[in-house]
């Protein structure tokens, strides 16, 4: 980090994940009113959600495949120590080197140390969420190294000094016009918003940097313990350039990325591309095992695998273990009605959407992101979309419970739910509550039986929509009337009268 | 066939006519309908907000109130989902209570599910007095009930003069989410405005919404933002078709 930043304000406690947008409510208010963002997201993520459905429906047994993928992940996580050791052993056996990092600082230091030892000055990088988690680029630049993002989206963000807003489509929040402006300023060229021209600009520039680079950094989609291989899925070919052209290849992974065997890989490859982008496979699927071997012409001289914890072991030990199944496909973001209205940045950290709402508080602490587990309608679209069957809504509810237990929920809220529950435990108090509500609400001004302004904690409702005025008679009254009518008509059937149920 | 109605607290207070439509249609199809008056709430708001102990208290009460009922039928998808998805887990620490919960779950049906799976009604001989174009909002909690096909649309289509028109982003949540709607009005409002716009674009006269909360939300936003459709429960449309009176009481 630049020194000036730390001088301005006292350093906050170090969080496992960097937080770029600390005020969820403020950001949500702005983005919820941003119609052009909603239109852009409908044109991208909503469409991707539909192509995911279409692509999965074409599989003979998509449900079975998702269950299998979820079970493989569960099994691996249940035996994570074993599989990580196996992975390490097999990477070493193929001439690679393995480093374990307890947190992102250690992981950054490891990359810097490798760069120094190998005399690397220019680093090219393919897309990696874990590197975003580490704020790797900042760390490398602070160490005097030059690093270039080579995924087009990430490159745009690097030039724009901004952050990804989606797991697989990082610049989904930017229009072509904005990208054109960023490139015009960066490359000192006349403005254009023609996507192919912009892509070509980046391509020509990056092509040279690939050639000059000393080190390539990549993420890892899957690490195969049995063979010591890593698998990287990309659509632009930049991943392959980063991992084959430079002298040194450093791959960074969260410790949950390991899978047992090569035969498990197709299960995930089939699901990943379909779920992420509605493709059968990504354009490039690279399986890399160790550095260049004697007699081979291509490939790096050194291969390093950095396996990072940064809080994952703690998550593994608790009730939220299933979150570590995530393969970062972004399907839950695409399916989420809330993501479609607030975009990725509102979620605060680099992990947005439903899965982000879960893992960001898990990494950084429940008190740090108290809105995230609540800012969900629990509609379940994420669970339905998840290729590894993470029951996100159930875990969001669990997290709300943990907030209550940790005293993060307000005293007023706890008091309200206590009173509410008590009221519903008795017929008379339920009736009293319903009658009081009806009498009170029927006194509020209403138009066509719709109330436009509610007081107190309910005012949020009527800020954005009207509230139904309770009719003069509730169901119980109509029911009694109905029963009386039936008795009067001497209709012998269906007369059970009002029965308590608590005899 | 004896059916006990679980009306749900929202329908009781805010949409009693939906409850009556449910009663009339069930009776029409030969059910003896019973309304255990001690019922209150399934506990969903407490559960969803992180108060499982409170939800458990209310779940126990529900199970007690409906003890002895052959079938429990509710017009609200999310309350049915609360019972089915969460009641068994609430009693995970007590085998006897859990068994009771499981038995309760097995007897509980969402209204459309009950019509199609248990009563197996056929509405082809019924007819609405006037032609109606309806669209269907896929209420989210039906996902958990394995009603992911569109049995409701198929059923309503059987009615004469009742034409289905598709809804854009039909499976996108309406933004209700219980306390979510009041806690996060900006987000919830943006989502429900989207739903109203999709409803308007469908040019349907009626949007079928089989959940008390979603109906209040979409109805309230429709009123605020110029919705061109009425929000109705499927039971209301079916009741209207029965009153249309063209058919026999066949089922």
Which of B114, B212, B206 is CA-nearest to residue B155?
B114
pLDDT at res. A94? 97
How far apart CA A322 and CA A305 sit, in angstroms, is 24
Q: Is the model's pLDDT at A7 over the cut of 80?
A: no
Distance to chain B for A92, nearest Cα, Å: 45
**Which chain A residues contact residue B140 at CB under 8 A?**
377-381
**Which residues are within 8 A (CB) of B93 and not within 5 positions of it... i.e. 6 or more apart?**
none
Q: For residue B174, give the chain A residue with the closest CA.
A: A337
Over residues A238-259, the pLDDT tens digits come to 999 999 999 999 999 999 999 9
Q: Is the ipTM of this complex over 0.90?
A: yes
Segment (H or E) for A235 = none
**Minimal Cα distance from B175: which residue of A?**
A377
Task: Give the pLDDT of residue A498.
Answer: 44
Q: What residue ranges do the domains of chain A occupy? A: 59-314, 412-488
Closest among A424, A24, A361, A401 to B49, alpha carbons compared: A401
What backbone torsions phi and psi does residue B145 show, to the nearest 5 degrees? -95, 10
Report the residue from B16, B37, B220 with minimal CB separation from A467.
B220
pTM, two decimals, is: 0.93
Residue among A63, A376, A475 with most chain B CBs within 10 A, to mutate: A475
- Top residue of A400, A424, A430 to mutate, by most chain B CBs within 10 Å, is A424
Instruction: Name the closest residue on chain A to residue B17, using Cα atoms.
Output: A475
Please check whether residue A143 touches B, CB under 8 A.
no
Which residue has 């496992």 as its token pair? A16
* Interface membership of B41 toward A (CB under 8 Å): yes
Spatial distance between the Cα atoms of A79 and A73, rounded to a whole number of angstroms: 10
Mean pLDDT of B77-94: 94
Q: How many CA atoms lie within 13 A of B173 on its CB side?
A: 32
Q: Verify whether the Cβ–Cβ distance A475 to B184 is below 8 Å.
A: no
How confident is the model at residue A457, as a pLDDT? Answer: 85
DSSP state of B155: H
Name every chain B residue with its beta carbon within 8 A of the beta carbon of A456: none
Per residue in A383-406, pLDDT tens? 999 999 999 999 999 999 999 999
Residues 6+ apart with CB under 8 A from B48: A378, A397, A400, B178, B179
Interchain contact, B180 vs A468, CB within 8 Å: no
The phi, psi pair for A472, rounded to 5°, reads -60, -40
Distance linking the first and last C-alpha atoms of chain A:
71
- Chain A residues inside the 8 Å CB shell of B56: none
**A402 touches B at CB < 8 Å:** yes
* pLDDT value at residue A491: 54
A467 touches chain B (CB under 8 A): yes
B246 pLDDT more than 60:
no
Residue B121: per-residue pLDDT: 96
Find the angle CA(A153)-CA(A154)-CA(A157) to the nearest 5 degrees.
95
Taking all residues of chain A, what is their mean pLDDT, rounded to a whole number?
Answer: 93
Confidence grade of residue A495 (pLDDT, cut at 50, 70, 90): very low
* Residue A10 pLDDT class (50, 70, 90 cuts): low
For residue B43 the two structure tokens come to 């506990």
CB contact under 8 A, A501 and B65: yes
User: Quick one: average pLDDT of A474-478?
Assistant: 96
Q: What mean pLDDT is predicted for residues B139-149?
A: 63
Q: What is the pLDDT of residues A352-387, one digit of tens each?
A: 999 999 999 999 999 999 999 999 999 999 999 999
Q: Confirm or reject contact between B201 and chain A (CB < 8 A).
A: no
User: Is the CB of B50 less than 8 angstroms away from the CB of A468?
Assistant: no
Among the partner residues B19, B52, B185, nearest to A460 by beta-carbon distance: B185
Examine the pLDDT at A13 and tell me if it is beyond 70.
no
User: Helix, strand or coil for residue A268?
Assistant: helix
> Quick one: which of B82, B147, B143, B140 has its CA closest to B108?
B82
Residue A283 confidence class, pLDDT cut points 50, 70, 90: very high
More confident residue, B149 or A180: A180
Q: What angle do CA A49, A253, A369 make, to 5 degrees?
A: 65
Measured between alpha carbons, how far is A24 from A303 in angstroms, rounded to an integer? 40
Residue B132 C-alpha, separation from nearest chain A C-alpha, in angstroms: 22
Query: pLDDT by residue (tens digit) across A190-206?
Result: 999 999 999 999 999 99
- Rg of chain B over Cα atoms, rounded to whole angstroms, equals 18
E strand intervals along chain B: 2-5, 32-36, 71-74, 108-110, 127-136, 160-164, 206-208, 230-232
A418 touches chain B (CB under 8 A): yes
Q: Which residues contact B3 (CB under 8 A, 6 or more apart)?
A: B26, B31, B32, B33, B34, B69, B70, B71, B72, B73, B114
The per-residue pLDDT for B141 is 77
Report CB contact under 8 Å: A461, B220. Answer: yes
DSSP three-state, residue A232: strand
Domains of chain B from N-terminus onward:
2-118 (3.40.50), 122-244 (3.40.50.1860)
B248 has pLDDT over 80:
no
Q: Please provide the DSSP assignment of B98-120 as one string.
A: HHHHHHHHHHEEEHHHIIIIII-
DSSP state letter for A325:
G
A1 — pLDDT class (breaks 50, 70, 90): very low
Position B244 confidence tier, pLDDT thresholds 50, 70, 90: confident
| Long-range contacts (CB closer than 8 Å, 24 or more residues apart) made by A97-100 | A97/A302, A97/A303, A97/A304, A97/A305, A98/A304, A98/A305, A98/A307, A99/A304, A99/A305, A99/A306, A99/A307, A100/A306, A100/A307, A100/A308, A100/A309
* pLDDT > 50? residue A159: yes
Residue B217 has pLDDT above 80, yes or no: yes
CATH superfamily of A59-314: NagB/RpiA/CoA transferase-like (3.40.50.10420)
Asked if A450 and B190 come within 8 Å (Cβ–Cβ), the reply is: no
| Cα B239 to Cα A359: distance, rounded to the nearest angstrom | 47
| Confidence grade of residue A11 (pLDDT, cut at 50, 70, 90) | low
Kindly state the average pLDDT of the residues A74-91.
98
Longest dimension (CA), chain A: 99
Closest residue of chain B to A459, computed from CA coordinates? B182
**Angle at CA of residue B1, ends A498 and B2, nearest 5°:** 25
Give the percent of chain A with pLDDT over 90: 91
Residue A3: per-residue pLDDT: 45
Q: Which residue, among A223, A250, A214, has the nearest Cα to A126 in the 3D structure?
A: A250
- The closest CB to that of B47, out of A397, A413, A468, belongs to A397
Interface mutation vs chain B, best among A332, A346, A377, A394, most B CBs within 10 Å: A377
Residue in chain B closest to A334 (alpha carbons) equals B172
Q: What is the pLDDT of residue B163?
A: 96
Three-state SS at A212 = helix
Across the interface, do B39 and A501 touch by the CB < 8 Å criterion? yes
């Amino acid at each position: 980090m630049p020194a000036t930043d730390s001088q301005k304000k006292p350093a906050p406690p170090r969080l496992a994940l960097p937080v770029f947008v600390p005020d969820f409510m403020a950001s949500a208010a702005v983005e919820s009113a941003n119609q052009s963002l909603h239109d852009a997201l409908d044109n991208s993520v909503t469409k991707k959600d539909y192509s995911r459905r279409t692509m999965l429906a074409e599989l003979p047994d998509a449900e079975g495949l998702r269950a299998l993928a979820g079970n493989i992940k569960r099994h691996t996580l249940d035996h994570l120590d074993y599989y990580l050791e196996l992975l390490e052993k097999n990477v070493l056996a193929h001439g690679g080197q393995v480093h374990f990092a307890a947190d992102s600082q250690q992981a950054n230091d490891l990359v810097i140390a490798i760069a120094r030892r190998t005399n690397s000055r220019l680093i090219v990088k393919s897309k990696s969420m874990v590197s975003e988690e580490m704020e790797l680029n900042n760390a490398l630049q602070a160490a005097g190294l030059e690093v270039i993002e080579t995924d087009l989206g990430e490159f745009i963000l690097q030039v724009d000094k901004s952050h990804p807003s989606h797991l697989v489509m990082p610049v989904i929040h930017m229009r072509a016009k904005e990208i054109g402006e960023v490139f015009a300023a960066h490359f000192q060229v006349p403005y254009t918003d023609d996507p192919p021209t912009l892509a070509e600009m980046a391509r020509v520039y990056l092509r040279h940097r690939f050639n000059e680079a000393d080190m390539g950094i990549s993420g890892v989609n899957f690490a195969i313990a049995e063979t010591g291989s890593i698998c990287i899925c990309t659509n632009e070919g930049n991943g392959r350039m980063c991992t084959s052209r430079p002298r040194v290849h450093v791959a960074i992974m969260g410790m949950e990325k390991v899978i047992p065997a090569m035969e498990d890989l197709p299960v995930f490859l089939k699901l990943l591309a379909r779920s992420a982008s509605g493709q059968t496979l990504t354009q490039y699927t690279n399986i890399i095992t160790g550095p260049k071997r004697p007699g081979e012409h291509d490939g790096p001289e050194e291969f390093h695998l950095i396996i990072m914890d940064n809080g994952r072991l703690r998550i593994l030990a608790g009730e939220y273990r299933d979150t570590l199944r995530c393969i970062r496909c972004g399907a839950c973001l695409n399916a989420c009605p809330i993501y479609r209205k607030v975009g990725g940045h509102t979620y605060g950290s680099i992990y947005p959407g439903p899965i982000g709402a879960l893992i960001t508080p898990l990494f950084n602490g429940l008190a740090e992101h108290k809105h995230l587990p609540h800012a969900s309608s629990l509609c379940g679209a994420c669970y339905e979309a998840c290729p590894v069957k993470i029951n996100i809504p159930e875990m969001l509810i669990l997290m709300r419970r943990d907030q209550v237990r940790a005293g993060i929920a307000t005293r007023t809220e706890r008091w309200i739910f206590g009173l509410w529950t008590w009221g519903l435990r008795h017929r008379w108090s339920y009736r009293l509550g319903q009658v009081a509500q009806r009498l009170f609400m029927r006194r509020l001004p209403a138009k066509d039986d719709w109330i436009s302004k509610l007081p107190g904690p309910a005012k949020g409702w009527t800020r954005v929509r009207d509230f139904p005025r309770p009719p003069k008679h509730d169901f119980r009254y109509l029911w009694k009337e109905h029963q009386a009518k039936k008795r009067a008509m001497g209709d012998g059937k269906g007369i059970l009268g009002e029965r308590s149920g608590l005899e | 066939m004896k059916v006990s109605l679980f009306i749900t607290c929202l329908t009781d207070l805010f949409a009693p006519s939906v409850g009556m439509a449910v009663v009339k249609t069930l009776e029409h199809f030969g059910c003896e309908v019973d309304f255990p008056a001690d019922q209150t709430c399934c506990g969903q708001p407490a559960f969803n907000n992180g108060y499982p102990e409170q939800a458990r208290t209310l779940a126990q009460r529900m199970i007690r109130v409906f003890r002895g009922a052959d079938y429990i039928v509710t017009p609200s998808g999310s309350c049915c989902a609360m019972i089915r998805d969460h009641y068994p887990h609430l009693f995970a620490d007590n085998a006897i209570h859990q068994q009771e919960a499981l038995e309760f779950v097995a007897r509980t049906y969402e209204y459309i599910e009950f019509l199609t799976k248990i009563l197996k009604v056929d509405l082809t001989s019924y007819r609405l007095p006037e032609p109606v174009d309806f669209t269907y909002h896929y209420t989210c909690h039906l996902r958990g009930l394995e009603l992911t096909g569109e049995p409701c649309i198929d059923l309503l289509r059987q009615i004469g003069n009742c034409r289905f028109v598709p809804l854009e982003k039909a499976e996108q949540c309406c933004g209700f989410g219980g306390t979510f709607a009041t806690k996060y009005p900006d987000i919830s409002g943006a989502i429900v405005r989207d739903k109203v716009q999709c409803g308007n674009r469908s040019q349907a006269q009626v949007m079928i919404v089989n959940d008390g909360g979603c109906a209040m939300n979409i109805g309230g936003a429709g009123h605020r933002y110029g919705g061109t459709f009425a929000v109705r429960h499927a039971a209301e449309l079916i009741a209207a078709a029965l009153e249309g009176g063209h058919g026999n009481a066949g089922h």
